[in-house]
Structure 1
């Protein structure tokens, strides 16, 4: 992926700092770059129904974002705890922003809650924190005192609602499954009128950035997922009718491709995935992808080369940069349709 990673740079001016609805437009008014083979179209996201048909199925991740940043004290130091992945009813993998910690170190949080470092996470710099409260009490504490994860390109603190998709229903992600953010209820209604089908699965996202130019190792970045039977049944019926299964987000791709057998058939599934998809990967179930625009260091960018050749992806990104597309969770969108899929 080094060729693409070194081939472009995102100007600071193209970091989306403000949600679309706070820029004077609707969520579905962000721009949409549509890629189908060598054909590239530049539209608005509200025009998405024009590129889909009644045989198509959109699969959404219904995971709901939690306010995963907690303030804590370690001795005389103030630190920030960024939760990444829930391990059980009282333990989380987490990133502590503001120092290095070892097993046995204790953090003091508000309201008398404490957390002890019990070990290292799946990869550095994540650690495992055991909280002094658990279950519903701990989740209630997180919701009352936590804040959304906010990276340095966002100047202002936005409420948790800004980091939710319209249809999110299952709490657990520490970052928004952002590919679905541009879907408004109005747009979902228009897709339904056209006959486009919708289905849902759940994948809880972990931290995508560890700070100081550190990103997760995609092969050591487990995330929990659940694909219900009704979604499996819909995918089977769409495939039988030669329709397209279009993933709304890289999280949906990971979940579906993890659960699919070599022939692309699915069964109801629940578990942990560390699937790393790159250009050599043969997609078994997913025929298209709706996603945001990815920075050159992001491993999600490499997943896109499983859908379209690297040179075509780079050419489209060059156009996006020239046209001033916005990056990150509040930014513009990209639809990639595999050219060889029956329609």
Structure 2
């Protein structure tokens, strides 16, 4: 991070653009790879228009594509307050601990797990409140209130938590998507593997197994990293001076194989191309000053905005983000705010689809 003086007061409104509401995509396209692709040169700001499957034309042998293989959990639960039957919605954010419940004889009787959650309406969820989901299949008890009014809830159940969640939970779509999702898998990438996200790494939604195969056949390495996306992704920037904005922490993991692929690409003069801001934030959190990586895991609160010097990433495939979001700030750090806002203006004019189920951009 350099210390430009102009960074001391970067305003949220510097990242504003006019986005007609009807351009926020409400449903995924039938064919993932048929979304549109705006290609932009980060040095000149020049743009051209394509279809996503043509991304292969812009990837070269010796490049490395970094993908985030996190899997979204159906983290939105609708329950009833025990005693009053009032409706309460719970969104699972972060798993804190898992423990087996034991009876008086010391026998395991089931399991409980504690999660940090977002509860609506919060005022009905005081410490001690019990919430029943699926007629008691899952029962939650509020055990603490943590930062920003989030609740720690201990869930008790019989069986396997993930299976119960699959049965009762809904996909936690962002608030801007009002349509009900018909097929849960459309909010997962085709390479989703490790469960733990409260939101999808949406730039990856455009890839099909066929497209990934074609990319590998071209001599492009694919490195899989994991970052469990938290709701900080959608959290609006509320402060005027963006440097005062605090990111939520998210868990990431990079294994030995992915680290070696990225390091080898760097050494051989290839480009490291991240699919999505989450892959970008993972490798930038873990890279040393020379852009080298090693196997590691941890929590990151990295916030990337103009003035940031990228250590590992060369190019980025990303969706179109909302005005004044931390995501458009990250993209502006890579390609320059003026270039990005001009490209977004062009995308609005050309009626590109925005956000999670929308179209994509390749910043080269």
TM surpasses 0.5: yes
Separation in 1, partners of 2:354, 2:279: 20
Partner of 2:15 in structure 1? 5
1:245-276 CA-partner distances (Å, limit 9, x unpaired): 01111111111111111221111011111111
Partner of 2:256 in structure 1? 229
Separation in 1, partners of 2:12, 2:251: 29
Superposed, 1:163-182 pairs within 5 Å as 163-182=187-206
User: Aligned pair in 2 of structure 1 residues 140, 305: CA closer, same or farther (>3 Å)?
Assistant: same
Q: Give the Å deviation of 1:119.
A: 2.2
1:302-340 CA-partner distances (Å, limit 9, x unpaired): 111221111011100010000000012111001112xxx
Partner of 1:242 in structure 2? 269
Partner of 1:340 in structure 2? none
Superposed, 1:1-343 pairs within 5 Å as 1-6=11-16, 8-21=17-30, 26-36=31-41, 37=43, 38-74=45-81, 75-89=84-98, 90-100=113-123, 101-112=125-136, 113-121=138-146, 123-133=147-157, 137-150=160-173, 151-207=175-231, 208-209=233-234, 219-337=246-364
Structure 2 unaligned runs (5+)? Answer: 1-10, 99-112
Partner of 1:341 in structure 2? none
Separation in 2, partners of 1:115, 1:218: 32
User: Aligned pair in 2 of structure 1 residues 33, 4: CA closer, same or farther (>3 Å)?
Assistant: farther
The count of residues paired between Structure 1 and Structure 2 equals 327
Separation in 2, partners of 1:210, 1:334: 22
Q: Give the Å deviation of 1:155.
A: 2.0
Are 1:104 and 1:118, in contact at CA under 8 Å, matched by a contact in 2? yes
Are 2:249 and 2:300, in contact at CA under 8 Å, matched by a contact in 1? yes
Are 1:148 and 1:159, in contact at CA under 8 Å, matched by a contact in 2? no
Q: Give the Å deviation of 1:126.
A: 2.2
Looking at CA atoms only, which structure, 1 or 2, has the larger radius of gyration? Answer: 2
Q: Give the Å deviation of 1:227.
A: 0.2
Are 2:33 and 2:52, in contact at CA under 8 Å, matched by a contact in 1? yes
Separation in 1, partners of 2:95, 2:54: 38
Q: Give the Å deviation of 1:81.
A: 0.9
Structure 1 unaligned runs (5+)? Answer: 338-343
TM-score by length of 2: 0.85
Q: Give the Å deviation of 1:218.
A: 6.1
Separation in 1, partners of 2:245, 2:259: 26
TM-score by length of 1: 0.90
Separation in 2, partners of 1:238, 1:259: 16
Separation in 2, partners of 1:172, 1:157: 19
Are 1:70 and 1:82, in contact at CA under 8 Å, matched by a contact in 2? yes
User: Aligned pair in 2 of structure 1 residues 196, 210: CA closer, same or farther (>3 Å)?
Assistant: closer
Are 1:219 and 1:275, in contact at CA under 8 Å, matched by a contact in 2? no
Q: Give the Å deviation of 1:76.
A: 3.2
Please identify, of 91-100 and 138-147, the stretch whose mean Cα deviation from structure 2 is larger: 91-100
Q: CA RMSD in A?
A: 2.0
